[in-house]
């Protein structure tokens, strides 16, 4: 009985540490000389809900002008490091500074989007954005 219990605790600890490893993956901070970008992330449906969702990112430069020549990549996961599989990839350039992709929210709660912006002759820019997903 006691042995069984401690085995259970050990397994739980393993699962938890697996989650923590995910959380510890550092969201790289933007380089000091990186240009500022404004990224407005919206979902469709809005408010966000569990299930398939469209993700739209409206990217503007630090003067408020639409950024149309970027490669925008996303890495999405639940805050707190729960593992829901790899959700990452390149968003489609929809024109006019809008970039979009689709994904499936598998669980309600806070999700983190790590957004990377790459442009010709510009330092890579990286930002975390939070989305609250309802059940």
Phi, psi of 58 (to 5 degrees): -100, 115
Nearer to Cu ion, 77 or 97 (CB): 77
Size, binding site for Cu ion by CB under 5 A: 3
Closest approach of Cu ion to the CB of residue 131, in Å: 13
Quick one: CA dihedral 33, 34, 35, 38, positive or negative? negative
70 touching Cu ion, by CB under 5 A: no
Residue from 107, 128, 130, 134 binding Cu ion (CB under 5 A): 107
Nearer to Cu ion, 53 or 70 (CB): 53
34 touching Cu ion, by CB under 5 A: no
Nearer to Cu ion, 90 or 130 (CB): 130
78 and 67 Cβ atoms separated by less than 8 Å: no
H/E element, 99: strand 98-105
Residue in the block written with tokens 């729960």: 82
Residue from 19, 23, 56, 82 binding Cu ion (CB under 5 A): 82
Phi, psi of 44 (to 5 degrees): -130, 115
* Residues in touch with Cu ion (CB under 5 A): 78, 82, 107
């Amino acid at each position: 009985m006691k042995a069984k219990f401690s085995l259970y605790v050990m397994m739980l600890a393993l699962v938890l540490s697996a989650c923590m490893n995910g959380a510890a993956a550092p969201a790289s901070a933007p380089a000091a000389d990186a240009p500022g970008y404004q990224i407005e992330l919206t979902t469709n449906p809005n408010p966000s809900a569990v299930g398939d969702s469209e993700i739209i990112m409206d990217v503007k430069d630090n003067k408020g002008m639409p950024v149309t020549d970027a490669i925008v990549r996303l890495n999405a996961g639940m805050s707190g490091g729960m593992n829901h599989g790899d959700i990452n990839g390149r968003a489609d350039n929809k024109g006019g500074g809008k970039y979009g992709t689709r994904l499936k929210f598998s669980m309600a709660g806070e999700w983190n989007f790590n957004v990377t912006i790459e442009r010709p002759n510009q330092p890579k820019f990286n930002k975390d954005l939070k989305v609250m997903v309802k059940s």
